[in-house]
Chains A and B, each alone.
Chain A
Amino acid sequence: EIVMTQSPAILSVSPGERASLFCRASQNVRTNLAWYQQKPGQAPRLLIYAASTRATGIPARFSGSGSGTDFALTISSLQSEDFAVYFCQQYDNWPPEYTFGQGTSLEIK
């Protein structure tokens, strides 16, 4: 099983500032990585796939980077609606054995 480790577990940032969240895979997943945003009481929402491609309707302030084992999600200027939990997910193996990171909670400072 590919283990996904996210850091930090909790990130406190002020609105308008930049936030960087990280995800590390226990083995090479190439660019087969997605990021999701989840707000309380809601389903996850796809933000980024293929490590750096924004999903439909996702604002340009969200960007993804990385390949292999180390990945980052950057939010360039935090808006109030961006405070949420973020998960990464790898989809590199076949047959599929999708695994998620444990999440980073992005909180208002």
Chain B
Amino acid sequence: QLQLQESGPGLVKASETLSLTCTVSGDSIDSSNYYWGWVRQPPGKGLVWIGTIYYSGSTYYNPSLESRVTMSVDTSKNQFSLRLSSVTAADTAVYYCARLPLGYCISTSCYPVYFDDWGQGTLVTVSS
């Protein structure tokens, strides 16, 4: 049974860096069949993809957040992490980590698709 658990401070000051970690259990983060990602949801609003990472460290970020986002993976701890710099009140949201299976393949490359398992989410509030 796959479980993903987000952890990190629930309160971050404006202009500082938000840091979250997702601990994966029930599966190995260095599985070649999956990517891992972050999605956020501002209170009462919709879902926004933040970024995606492979166990090799290969990353893809939402262009609207790319200048402030860094994701990393620690296979020894079966964890992956998110850092979002220079936060403002607009970054207040529930942050979810999730797993993405590899879906369609073109030639020798296969690509992550949808989010098939999610953590419970953690609320991060940015204070002024």
Residues of A within 8 A of B (CB): 1, 32, 34, 36, 42-46, 49-50, 55, 87, 89, 91, 94-103
Complex contacts, A1 vs chain B, CB 8 Å: 63
Instruction: Give the number of residues in B that approach A within 8 Å (Cβ atoms).
Output: 22
Complex contacts, B121 vs chain A, CB 8 Å: 43
* Cα(A42)–Cα(B120), bound, Å: 6
Residue contact A49 to B113, C-beta cutoff 8 Å: yes
Contact with B48, one of A32, A91, A96, A100 (Cβ below 8 angstroms): A100
Contact with B49, one of A42, A49, A98, A103 (Cβ below 8 angstroms): A98
Main SS of chain A's interface residues? loop
Residue contact B114 to A49, C-beta cutoff 8 Å: yes
**A64 shortest CB reach to chain B, Å:** 12
Residues of B within 8 A of A (CB): 46-49, 52, 60, 62-63, 96, 103-104, 111-121
If A43-B96, A94-B111 touch, whether A99 touches B49 (CB-CB below 8 Å) is yes
Residue contact A89 to B114, C-beta cutoff 8 Å: yes
Complex contacts, A45 vs chain B, CB 8 Å: 118
Complex contacts, A49 vs chain B, CB 8 Å: 103, 113-114, 116
Complex contacts, B47 vs chain A, CB 8 Å: 36, 44, 87, 89, 100
If A102-B46, A103-B46 touch, whether A43 touches B113 (CB-CB below 8 Å) is no
Complex contacts, A89 vs chain B, CB 8 Å: 47, 114-115
Contact with B115, one of A44, A99, A103 (Cβ below 8 angstroms): A44
Q: List 20 A-B contacts (CB under 8 A).
A: A34-B113, A36-B115, A42-B120, A43-B119, A43-B121, A44-B96, A45-B118, A46-B114, A49-B113, A49-B116, A87-B46, A89-B47, A89-B115, A91-B114, A94-B111, A95-B60, A96-B52, A97-B49, A100-B46, A100-B48
Nearest A residue to B115, CB-CB: A46
Residue contact A32 to B113, C-beta cutoff 8 Å: yes
* Cα(A55)–Cα(B48), bound, Å: 21
**B119 shortest CB reach to chain A, Å:** 6
Residue contact A91 to B103, C-beta cutoff 8 Å: yes
Nearest B residue to A35, CB-CB: B114
If A49-B113, A97-B62 touch, whether A43 touches B120 (CB-CB below 8 Å) is yes
**A41 shortest CB reach to chain B, Å:** 9
